[in-house]
Every structure is written in C-alpha cells, then in structure tokens.
C-alpha cells in the first residue's frame, strides 16, 4: 500500500492507473476507521481495479465549538486496517496540502443542505462539498463510496456531481450497526459506559417508526415524529436536537409516508452528537 501526502503525487498516481485502463474506486474518510468504513472499502475493492482511501480531518466542516481538535486520529491503526482491506493508495494530506493559506473558493449546495443537520451545523455542508470536490480532483475516481448513515451528505454528493457534471458515480452503502443497533460512528468512542448504553435510543426511536408504518399502517409523519420523541424522552442522558421526516430524495418535509421517507434524527448523549436514520416505505 502506497501512502501519498501531496495532491500533486495523488494526481500522478491516478493518471498512472487511468493510463493502464484501471478503474479507481474512492472511499473518502476522516479516519478513526470502523466496520462501517471497512464495509465501504470491501464493496469498493470488489467493484474497481484500484482502491484509494483518503484520511483527512477536514477543518472546514467543523463549527468553531465542534470537536475538530479532539477528533480521534489513530493513524497507525487506520493504516493497518487499510492495509488489511486491500487499499492500494492511502491519501493522507496535511491541512496545508489541501488548503492554501489564502484559499477563497467554496462549493455550496443551496437546497438539500438547508434542513436536518444543515440547520444545526451552519457551514458544515459547505465544508463537505468543498473538500469532497478537492478530493475528487486529486483522486479522479470512477466511483466514490459513501455511507447511508450520513444520508443528507450522501444526497448532497449525488446532487453535487450531477449539477457540476463531475464524471464520477456516487455509491451509497447501508448503515453498519453494533449488535444492539447503534450505528457505527467514529464518535461512538467518545461515549462513557452509561452513555454508550443509552445511545441505542436513536435506533429504538427509528424502530418504533418502522413498526408503526409496517405493522400498523400509520402514515402521518406527525404521529410518527411524536412517537419517536416519546422514545427519546425515556433516556435521561439523551437531548434531542431534531427528528425530521422528509422526502428521501428532495429532503423536503412531508405529511404522510407515500414515496420513500427519510426519518432522520440527531441526539446529544452527554457531549456527543450522534445521528441515525432509516427509510420508511408505505408498502402501497
Ligand atoms: O463522511 C465523512 O467522513 C466526511 O464528511 C467526508 C466525506 C470524508 C468529508 O470530509
């Protein structure tokens, strides 16, 4: 496995692969890799000749009071996991390599990024769209693979490559969960033992909505949201940030479950912000 730290060298490697007629799959990450990331890598490995993974904790997608500084950076362990997953190139640039001191160009998506996490993390998606554009220019992949846990991010990525005519296919892979249902996340390691126990509340709330739609045929999102709220309120360490039920494609709020609806929520457990989601289908 080659480790590349400069954008220029990454572009040279990509050009080499392409000249040899090889297809490149790309998994962008911020490191602190877990089974969720590994499942993306395994899928990517099977669907291309070359697998590039980036590890870059992107400062521009963190708010001033967020966890940029303390975000875990276990690089040696990450490198070992990448090696085991058959990664060809680990792209690990520094902040200076990615952003010039006088950086002044941003990529901004103006519709899908307004609600859900975008409403609570101002500037977050501007940071994500900008860095992913820069990463795509560096890696020049045929496929870029994202996780469904960040459903809003995934929808924005699809829109971005469409609107900007970027020659890359966005692939979104399912959420990977711990045995008790907690969605895998790098931030799970912030949780103290009792917080970890209560962190299942996100999944429990989503399961409640799934049961109501599937088992009882309840379609009104008002009722589903109220029931999900009640579940969260039973966990004393949980502070709800939002529960939204939106059209799975446009991310606009909906009143009833007809076409697929994304039920998404963000909850703080102690100081840790967790997100999760499911797609509800009417079955009609
Ligand atoms: O999902 C993430 O880990 C990040 O938002 C991404 C896509 C790597 C951009 O920094």
- Distance from the first to the final alpha carbon of the chain: 49
Give yes or no for a contact between 249 and 151, defined as CB atoms under 8 angstroms apart. Answer: no
3-state secondary structure 109-167: CCCCCCCHHHHHCCCHHHHHHHHHHHHHHHHCCCEEEEEHHHHHHHHHHHHHHHHCCCC
Give the helix/strand (H/E) hosting 230: helix 221-233
Burial of 6 (0-12, 13-18, 19+ CB in 10 A): middle
Single pTM value for the model: 0.97
Cα distance between residue 274 and residue 268, in whole Å: 6
How is residue 127 written in tokens?
């940071």
When the candidates are 3.40.50.620, 3.40.50.300, 3.40.190.10, 3.40.640.10, the CATH number that belongs to 2-173 is 3.40.50.620
Give the helix/strand (H/E) hosting 171: strand 169-173
The CB of 98 under 6 Å from ligand 1? The reply is: no
Residues serving a catalytic function are 37
CA dihedral 85, 87, 90, 91 (to 10 degrees): -120
- CA-nearest of 185, 196, 191 to 31 is 185
* pLDDT at site 283: 73
| CA of 102 relative to ligand 1 center, distance in Å | 23
How is residue 263 written in tokens?
């039920």
CATH code for residues 186-278: 3.30.1300.10
Of 34, 148, 153, 156, the one to substitute when testing ligand 1's pocket (max ligand atoms within 8 A of C-beta) is 153
- CA-nearest of 231, 224, 278 to 255 is 224
The CB of 186 under 6 Å from ligand 1? The reply is: no
* pLDDT at site 284: 55
Beta bridge partners of 146: 172
What are the 10-residue block averages of pLDDT along the chain, 284 residues in total? Answer: 98 98 98 98 98 98 96 98 98 98 98 98 98 98 98 98 98 98 97 98 98 96 98 98 97 96 98 98 77
Percent of the chain with pLDDT over 70: 100
Cα distance between residue 135 and residue 91, in whole Å: 9
The CB of 265 under 6 Å from ligand 1? The reply is: no
How is residue 36 written in tokens?
């969720």
| CA of 117 relative to ligand 1 center, distance in Å | 14
Of 72, 131, 175, the one to substitute when testing ligand 1's pocket (max ligand atoms within 8 A of C-beta) is 131
Please list, residue by residue across 72-105, b when 16 or more beta carbons sit within 10 angstroms of its beta carbon and e when fewer do: beeeeebbebbeebebbbbbbbeeebbbeeeeee
Burial of 151 (0-12, 13-18, 19+ CB in 10 A): buried
DSSP state letter for 256: B
272-280 and 261-269 strand pairing: antiparallel
Give yes or no for a contact between 52 and 17, defined as CB atoms under 8 angstroms apart. Answer: no
For ligand 1, atom 6, name the residue with the nearest CA: 29
| Domain spans of the chain, in order of start | 2-173, 186-278
């Amino acid at each position: 496995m080659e480790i590349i730290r400069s954008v220029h060298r990454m572009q040279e490697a990509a050009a080499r692969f392409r000249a040899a007629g090889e297809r490149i799959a790309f998994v962008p990450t911020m490191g602190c890799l877990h089974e969720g990331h590994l499942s993306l890598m395994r899928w990517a490995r099977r669907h291309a000749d070359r697998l590039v993974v980036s590890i870059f904790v992107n400062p521009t997608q963190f708010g001033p009071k967020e966890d940029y500084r303390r975000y875990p950076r276990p690089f040696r362990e990450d490198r070992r996991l990448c090696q085991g997953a058959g990664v060809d190139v680990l792209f690990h640039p520094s902040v200076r390599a990615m952003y010039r001191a006088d950086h002044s160009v941003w990529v901004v998506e103006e519709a899908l990024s307004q609600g859900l996490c975008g409403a609570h993390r101002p500037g977050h998606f501007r940071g994500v769209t900008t860095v992913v554009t820069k990463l795509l220019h560096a890696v020049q992949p045929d496929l870029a693979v994202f996780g469904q846990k960040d459903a809003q991010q995934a929808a924005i990525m699809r829109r971005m490559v469409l609107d900007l005519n970027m020659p890359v296919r966005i692939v979104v892979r399912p959420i990977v969960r711990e045995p008790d249902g907690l969605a895998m996340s790098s931030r799970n390691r912030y949780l103290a033992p009792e917080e970890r126990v209560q962190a299942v509340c996100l999944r429990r709330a989503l399961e409640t909505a799934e049961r109501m739609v599937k088992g009882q045929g309840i379609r009104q999102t008002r009722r589903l949201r109220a029931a999900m709220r009640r579940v969260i309120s039973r966990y004393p360490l949980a502070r709800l940030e939002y529960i939204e039920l939106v059209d799975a494609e446009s991310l606009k709020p909906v009143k009833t479950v007809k076409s697929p609806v994304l039920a998404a929520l963000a909850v703080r457990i102690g100081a840790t912000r967790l997100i999760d989601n499911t797609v509800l289908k009417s079955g009609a």
